Chains A and B, each alone.
Chain A
Amino acid sequence: MTTTLPQAATKEALLDVHHIKKYFPIKGGIFRRTIGHLKAVDDVSFSVYKGETLGIVGESGSGKSTLGRVILKLMDPTEGEIYFNGNEISKLKQREVRPYRRDMQMVFQDPFGSLNSKMSVAELIEEPLVVQTSLSKQERKHKAIEIMEKVGLRADDRMKYPHEFSGGQRQRISIARALIIHPQFVICDEPVSALDVSIQAQVLNLMKDLQDDLSLTYLFIAHDLSVVKHISDRIAVMYLGRIVEIAPKKALYDNALHPYTQGLLASIPVIETEETGTKREKVRITGDLPSPVSPPSGCPFRTRCPMAHERCSVDRPELTMVGDDEHYVACHLYT
C-alpha cells in the first residue's frame, strides 16, 4: 500500500517529516516493566516549505507539543525520519545536532517558566550567541541591542531580570532569544496562549513582521483555529497524535472536510451580522479526548464523530488528497 504524503515537489521543503512516531512507555508492576504505550505522536508526515507558516492545531493532549519537541530533537522519536534542509537529523546524537540548532529555534508557551529567572535579560538573549558562536562580548552586546529593538524591547532593559516584565514582554524576550542567531526555522509552541487577548494580537503581528523581515519559516502550534488563522499559510489539524486534515488556510476555513475540523471551526465564537450569518452547519464535538494509551480502533475520532459509520471502527483512514489544492484529509466520508 502506498501512502500519499502531503508534499509537493514544486516548492522547496525546509523540513520533511516522515512517519514520525513518539510513544512514551508506561511502566507498572513491581519490576517496572513496560505495560503499555502512550502514543503521543502516531505516524505523522508533512513538509514545511521555505518561508511559509504551517499552523498545527489540536486539543490539549493531541500531541502537537510533543511533535514540536521531537522535530527539534529535544526528544528522540520512537520511529520515523526528520529531514532538515535535506539532512536526516532524527538519528543524530545530541552532540551532533548542536550545529543544526543554529538554524532551528523554539519559542515556548509559558512566558514565566521558559526564562531562567536567575539570568538578566542580556544574559538570556545573548546565551545562544555564547553557546553557538565565538563572538566577543562587545559584538554580542551589539547584536542583543539590535534584536531587542527589533522585537520592541528597550535597550535600557538589558540589565533587568525576567520578574520585572509582563507576560507579553517576556514573550518578546523569548522571541529575541530565539532569533538572535538568525535561524531559518522557528517552532512556536503556543507562544500566545498564555497571554491576554489584546497582547496576543501584538505578539502575533510582531512575529509576522519578523517573518517577513528575516525570511523565517514557522511551525506554529496552537490549540484553537482563531489564533493560527492570522499567521498561517497552511494548517494541519491534529487529533490524538495524528494529522486528520492538512490544507492551505483558505481551503481549510472555507471548505473544512473532516468533521473534527468542522467542529473546531464551529467552536470559534463569531459575531453574527447579517452578512456573516451562520452559513456553516454547526457540528458540535461532544465528549472528551479518548486516552492516547488505548486509542479507538479504526478512525481515532469515531467515538465523537456525528457522522461515524461502521467502516470507521474497522479501517483506519489514511491521509488522502481531496480535490487539487493540496487539501488532504483522513476520513472515510471522502474515499
Chain B
Amino acid sequence: MSKKRKRAQSPFQLAFRRFLKNKLAILGIIVLVIITLGAIFAPLLTNHDPTYGDLLKIEKAPSEEHILGTDGSGRDNFARLLYGARISLVVGFSAMLFTLLIGVVLGALAGYYGGHIDNLIMRLADLILAIPFLVLALTIIALLESVTVTLFVTIIALTTWPSLTRIVRGTFLSLREQEFVLGARAIGASDFRIIFKHFIPNAIGPIIVNATLMMASMIIIESGLSFIGMGIPQPTPTWGNMISEAQNIRILQYHPEAWIPPGLGILLTVLAINFIGDGLRDAFDPKSNRR
C-alpha cells in the first residue's frame, strides 16, 4: 500500500517560500544577478582594457568605439564601469564574509560563555565603536604605503565587526535562557554541538539578514573612500574613483555619461541588496511583516 504523503516543511523551507512571495526582493535578486553577470563577463562585453589610457583620446564623447566615452586619462568608461562592478561586488562580498566570520565567532563566544570572555570581547567592540568609522579607517589607510583590495577588505572587516558581534551575542544570550538548550545539555551534548546544532540554526535568520544589509553598506564604504581618494587607488577601476574623476565642473557639465552610470551602478546595487535583505528579514521573522 503506498500512501501519498505531503512532505513536512522545515522552518527553512517555509522561510524560503515566504521569501519567494516577496516581489521587491525578487526584483532585487534579478537586478543583482544582471549586475553580477555584467561584472563576471566584462571581458566578453568590451574589448577595452580598463586600465589602459590612450592619451590622444582624453575626455572623448560617446562614440561607437567608446560607448560611454573616455575619462581624463583616455581610458574607456564602459570598460571601467564593468570592471569597476567587479571591485565593488568583490569588496562588498568578501568584506561581508570576513566580518561575518569575525562577528559570528566573537559574538558566539561572548554570548555562549559570558563572564570574562564576554567582557573582554564586548569592551574591545565598544572601543572600536567609540571611534567614528571614517576616522579609524582613514587613519589606518593613511599609515599604509599602498592599498590593495585584500588590505582594503581587511580594514573594513576589522572596523565593522562590532555591530554584527553585538547582534550575534544578543541572540545567543536570549537563546541561552531557552529550555531546549537546557534539554540539549541534559542529554549530554557538548558545547560544540550545542553551539552548532542548537544556537546557530536558531540565530541564522538575524545573522543572514544583517550580513546582507551589511554588504550594501560596505559597497557604499568602498565607493565613498574611493571617491575621496582613500580607497582602491587608480588605475584600478572602481565606481567610487570613477565618480571621483568627475570632480570638476567641465566633466560634470559636459560629460554626464562619465559619472551617471557608475552612480547609478552604486544606487541600483545597494538598493537591490537592501530589498533582498528586507525580504529575508520578513521571511525569517513573519512577525515583522507589517504592511
Q: Do A and B bind each other?
A: yes
Chain A: residues with CB nearer than 8 A to chain B?
69, 72, 74, 97-99, 101-102, 105-106, 108-110, 113-120, 127-128, 131-132, 156-157, 159-161, 163-164, 174, 177, 181
User: With the chains together, A52 CA to B184 CA distance in Å?
Assistant: 26
Is B66 in the interface zone, CB < 8 Å from A?
no
Within 8 A of A (CB), among B174-207: 178-180, 182-190, 193, 197-198, 201-202
Is B287 in the interface zone, CB < 8 Å from A?
no
Which of A105, A110, A116, A128 has the largest count of B CB atoms less than 10 A from its CB?
A116
A177 / chain B contacts, CB cutoff of 8 Å? 183, 187
Is B132 in the interface zone, CB < 8 Å from A?
no
A108 / chain B contacts, CB cutoff of 8 Å? 179, 182-183
By DSSP majority rule, is chain B's interface helix, strand, loop, or mixed?
Answer: helix
In the complex, what's the smallest C-beta–C-beta distance from A7 to chain B, in angstroms?
26
B183 / chain A contacts, CB cutoff of 8 Å? 106, 108, 114-116, 174, 177
B9 / chain A contacts, CB cutoff of 8 Å? 161
Cβ of A106 and Cβ of B8 under 8 Å apart? no
B190 / chain A contacts, CB cutoff of 8 Å? 131
In the complex, what's the smallest C-beta–C-beta distance from B53 to chain A, in angstroms?
55
In the complex, what's the smallest C-beta–C-beta distance from B194 to chain A, in angstroms?
10
A97 / chain B contacts, CB cutoff of 8 Å? 188
* Known pairs A106-B183, A108-B182, A108-B183; A117 contacts B11 (CB<8 A): yes
Q: Can you list 30 A-B pairs with a CB-CB distance of less than 8 A? A: A97-B188, A98-B188, A101-B187, A102-B188, A106-B183, A106-B186, A108-B179, A108-B183, A109-B179, A110-B179, A113-B179, A113-B180, A114-B179, A115-B180, A116-B197, A116-B198, A116-B202, A118-B10, A118-B201, A119-B197, A120-B10, A127-B184, A156-B5, A159-B7, A159-B8, A161-B8, A161-B10, A161-B11, A164-B8, A177-B183
The interface size bin for chain B is: 20 to 34
Chain B: residues with CB nearer than 8 A to chain A?
5, 7-12, 178-180, 182-190, 193, 197-198, 201-202
B179 / chain A contacts, CB cutoff of 8 Å? 108-110, 113-114
* Known pairs A74-B182, A106-B183; A101 contacts B188 (CB<8 A): yes
Cβ of A131 and Cβ of B11 under 8 Å apart? no
User: With the chains together, A147 CA to B197 CA distance in Å?
Assistant: 23
In the complex, what's the smallest C-beta–C-beta distance from A282 to chain B, in angstroms?
36
B189 / chain A contacts, CB cutoff of 8 Å? 127, 131
In the complex, what's the smallest C-beta–C-beta distance from A205 to chain B, in angstroms?
23
* Known pairs A116-B198, A120-B10, A163-B11; A132 contacts B188 (CB<8 A): yes
B8 / chain A contacts, CB cutoff of 8 Å? 120, 157, 159-161, 164
User: With the chains together, A177 CA to B187 CA distance in Å?
Assistant: 9
CB-based nearest A residue for B181:
A116
CB-based nearest A residue for B200:
A118
A105 / chain B contacts, CB cutoff of 8 Å? 186-187
B188 / chain A contacts, CB cutoff of 8 Å? 97-99, 101-102, 128, 131-132
CB-based nearest A residue for B12:
A118
In the complex, what's the smallest C-beta–C-beta distance from A242 to chain B, in angstroms?
24
* Known pairs A131-B193, A163-B11; A116 contacts B180 (CB<8 A): yes
